[in-house]
């Protein structure tokens, strides 16, 4: 079994920084101590295309002043890494809640100077055609939503400015010559609809969550490309016993227009089709199904088993006739914040014919 990614967890259960400030809820329904918590941990990894990489990751979990105890916690994450091949990742995703969850601000500030996999486009791309290309870009994503009952409605904004710094001479990417091979700006706006009936924001045990999003990258906004992306995602959580949960997720995407190849939808991520390598299958349309069984092991440790299936296609109708890939695996969860159910996640996904991959991050896949 070929393992492409090995994480060496220098500190597994105890972060090197943990700073908490506490305030007492004064409501009769909830007298729980609310903790603002900062957690950080170093990470070392190895990839054939990057060699050794070193960095740090962590999160800050908190509530704004005067927010009630039952409001969703806000969270800022960070990931930084630098590799022997002089690649750099700076990643700062965030999710803020204000006015007792009536306002939600979600987004990402990041910078990448990295190598990305390219296998070709479509479900028939071959593992042996893998090559890497170098790219660098800043990224800004901001979603602003307002809540009406259980419904969040809002707008999204996105900005990327991609520079393709190096591709394999006479390689597959050069031969395919897809849209975006020379890079360019991707600037767009969109609409968001989220319907949330989960009992917890992180690691829910019952309820469901639905999101529908559109994003239009258009030249009149300053973009170098014209395309529209539609995304639908739905998750269901069923409590079958104390801390025993079945979770299922359905996700599908559709892109029309002249989309650059690096903005196509793909699988092989910590959230979808775990086990496949990054960007293993990509195209204009995707459909995924995945399920998890989450169960307690001991004290603050929880176990997970999962299975996934999915496909990609150049036309949406292809998703109902193309071959479906599948993967499966297991993982561990380590409780970091009992009240808000924030967890450290370690997963290992396997594929039938292409080996597997480790994932080390925060919060569940869905």
Q: What is the pLDDT of residue 90?
A: 94
Strands (E), the chain: 6-8, 17-24, 33-47, 51-62, 74-83, 88-98, 103-118, 131-148, 151-166, 184-196, 207-217, 226-241, 244-258, 265-267, 281-283, 285-298, 301-313, 325-337, 342-350, 356-362
Q: What is the DSSP letter of 126?
A: -
Q: What is the DSSP letter of 167?
A: -
Q: What is the pLDDT of residue 76?
A: 95
47 — pLDDT class (breaks 50, 70, 90): low
- Rounded to 5 degrees, φ, ψ at 127 are -60, -40
C-beta of residue 63 within 8 angstroms of C-beta of residue 40: no
Beta pairing class for 17-24 and 33-47: antiparallel
Distance separating alpha carbons of residues 58 and 344, to the nearest angstrom: 10
Half-sphere exposure of 244 (CA within 13 A, CB side): 3
pLDDT tens profile 247-270: 999 999 999 999 999 999 999 888
Q: What is the pLDDT of residue 3?
A: 35
pLDDT tens profile 56-98: 988 899 999 889 988 889 999 998 999 888 889 999 999 999 9
Q: Which residue has the tokens 């176990």?
A: 303
Higher pLDDT, 337 or 332: 332
Q: Domain ranges for the chain, please list them.
A: 6-362
Q: Is the pLDDT of residue 6 over 50?
A: no
Distance separating alpha carbons of residues 266 and 312, to the nearest angstrom: 7
Average pLDDT of the chain? Answer: 88
Q: Is the pLDDT of residue 141 over 80?
A: yes
35 — pLDDT class (breaks 50, 70, 90): low
Please give the torsion angle defined by the CA atoms of residues 137, 344, 152 and 91, in that order, rounded to the nearest 10 degrees. -10
Distance separating alpha carbons of residues 148 and 169, to the nearest angstrom: 53
| Averaged pLDDT for residues 349-360 | 91
- Helix (H) / strand (E) element for 172: namely helix 172-176
pLDDT tens profile 98-140: 999 999 999 999 999 988 999 999 999 999 999 999 999 999 9
State which CATH number among 1.10.10.10, 2.40.160.50, 3.30.56.10, 2.30.40.10 fits the domain covering 6-362: 2.40.160.50
């Amino acid at each position: 079994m070929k393992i492409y990614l090995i994480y060496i967890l220098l500190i597994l259960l105890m972060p090197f920084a943990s700073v908490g400030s506490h305030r007492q809820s004064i409501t009769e329904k909830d007298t729980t101590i609310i903790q603002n918590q900062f957690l950080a941990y170093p990470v070392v990894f190895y990839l054939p295309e990057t060699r050794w990489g070193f960095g740090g990751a962590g999160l800050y979990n908190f509530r704004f002043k005067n927010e009630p105890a039952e409001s969703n916690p806000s969270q800022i994450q960070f990931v930084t890494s630098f590799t022997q091949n002089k690649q750099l990742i700076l990643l700062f995703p965030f999710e803020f809640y204000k006015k007792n969850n009536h306002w939600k601000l979600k987004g990402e500030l990041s910078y990448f100077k990295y190598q990305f996999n390219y296998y070709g486009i479509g479900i028939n791309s071959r593992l042996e055609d893998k090559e890497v290309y170098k790219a660098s870009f800043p990224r800004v994503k901001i979603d602003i939503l307002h809540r009406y009952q259980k419904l969040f409605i809002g707008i999204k904004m996105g900005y990327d400015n991609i520079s393709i710094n190096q591709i394999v001479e006479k390689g597959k990417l050069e031969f395919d010559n897809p849209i975006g091979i020379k890079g360019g700006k991707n600037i767009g706006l969109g609409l968001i609809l989220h319907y949330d009936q989960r009992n917890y924001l992180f690691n829910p045990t019952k309820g469901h969550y639905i999101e529908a999003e559109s994003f239009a990258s258009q030249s009149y906004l300053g973009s170098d490309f014209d395309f529209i992306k539609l995304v639908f995602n739905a998750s269901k959580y069923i409590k079958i016993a104390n801390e025993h949960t079945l979770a299922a997720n359905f996700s599908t995407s559709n892109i029309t227009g002249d989309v650059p190849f690096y903005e196509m939808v793909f699988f092989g991520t910590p959230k979808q089709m775990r086990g496949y390598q990054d960007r293993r299958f990509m195209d204009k349309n995707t459909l995924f199904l995945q399920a998890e069984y989450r169960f307690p092991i001991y004290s603050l440790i929880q176990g997970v088993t999962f299975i996934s299936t999915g496909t990609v296609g150049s036309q949406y109708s292809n998703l109902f006739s193309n071959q479906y890939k599948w993967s499966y695996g297991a993982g561990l969860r380590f409780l970091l914040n009992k009240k808000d159910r924030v967890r450290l996640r370690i997963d290992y996904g396997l594929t039938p014919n292409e080996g597997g991959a480790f994932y080390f991050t925060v919060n569940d896949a869905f």
